[in-house]
Structure 1
Amino acid sequence: MSSARPAFRDREEAGRRLARAIAGHCPDRPVVLALPRGGVPVAHEIAQALGADLDLLFVRKLGAPGHEEFGIGAVIDGAHPQTVLNDEIVRELSPGSDYIRNETARQLREIDRRRREYLGDRKPIDLTGRNVILVDDGIATGGTVRAALKGLRRARAGKILLAVPVAPPDALRSLANECDEIICLLSPYPFYAVGVHYADFRQTSDEEVKQLLAGAARTEQQPPPSSPAV
């Protein structure tokens, strides 16, 4: 493994650098969606720079009967939640429509609990026709991001831009057809782990998420800047 200095000081710096890269590609009136928790500090910087709305996008795995860690699909948060199934696994395991419906409802309850914890009574932004910038602090395998992108398509979002500081080349190639554009600042090969590219990769706390979202909510009440910050 290389002993070179990490590319990013922390998630905030990565977000500011991403915001500059996005500035020339930014879709009209975007909603910046963060995958919690690590994606929130990155997304917060982007939303601040672009004067955009900030929201969370929760993705919860649907576990197989008797083997909850083995995913048969995922449910994606939103004003109109979307379920994305792995058709090959569903055909193989035949969990039944009742099981899928009940497991989806269980995971939606968990999403609702987490959303209330972070955002109180604030409801998800309706993404129908809205341009979206989906943000995480990095991609390893791309499974969660892929489910999120598929859910956004099914939610009939407008243009979808995926923005991440770092990701392996193969993951970016596999995600290219799931969105309209990808902006990634660093795509090393071989790829070891997201965290090695940050000098500070401490886990983002629940309290930090709440503070950033509260600050974003106050900012959204102000007129947006005339041009992105650089």
Structure 2
Amino acid sequence: MNHPAPPRILVTRSEPGASETAQRLEALGYAPIVEPLFAIAPIDIVLPAFDALAFTSANGVRRLAALSPRRDVPVFCVGARTADTARAAGFSHVSSADGDVSALGDLILKQLPVGARLLHAGNEESRGDLSGRLAATGIAVQFMALFRAEPVATPGPELARHLRGEPAFAAVLIHSPRAASILAGMIAATANPSPIDAAAISPTAAAPLTGLASRIAIAPAPNEDAILSVLSDLVSG
């Protein structure tokens, strides 16, 4: 008896997250295609003094941990995956907002001591996300870009085939607005691409693909469990 081939899913996030997502997809019965749309490029920088840290991505945690030996400060993370990365890096006082930047701001307001020096370590595109949220409350946040997300020069082979009109996958996972923007540019520059169904981790991540993707399913919460849940509905629907 022949069994149907597992749905092929394009993974667009950068490494090492791409391989981690691919493992989860395989465990769920999918056939992942790992073709990151951007790579993480570190920025050489001297860190200021800080009493607490805020992270809106696991990549920010990894880069900060490479630049500083300090692991004794309170760490505030946007979600569980980022918090897990912080604990794995050796930070012992880690709190997760389990939500978005707004939820992270609320968490910091509840727990950060008055007068503490908070450093938000992220990439160039996350500048202002958290500081803008906290500015009205009187909390000063120093943001530092520790890495940049550099787009690939050309699409990977399977995405290129799909863009030529030869269906190569059932759906694409979008973990960030950056990946969505890069993919949107590739779609817009193509004459007759195959239809693209996308599962996005948040409305912000989905926005660049509006009008370009055939269908977009948005995760009800900004985490991988939620995006994999809507992926299942998207592929089976």
Bin for the TM-score computed over the shorter chain: 0.3 to 0.5
TM norm structure 1: 0.32
Higher RCO, 1 vs 2 (CA within 8 Å, ≥6 residues apart): 1
TM norm structure 2: 0.32
Instruction: Compare CA radii of gyration and give the structure with the larger one.
Output: 2
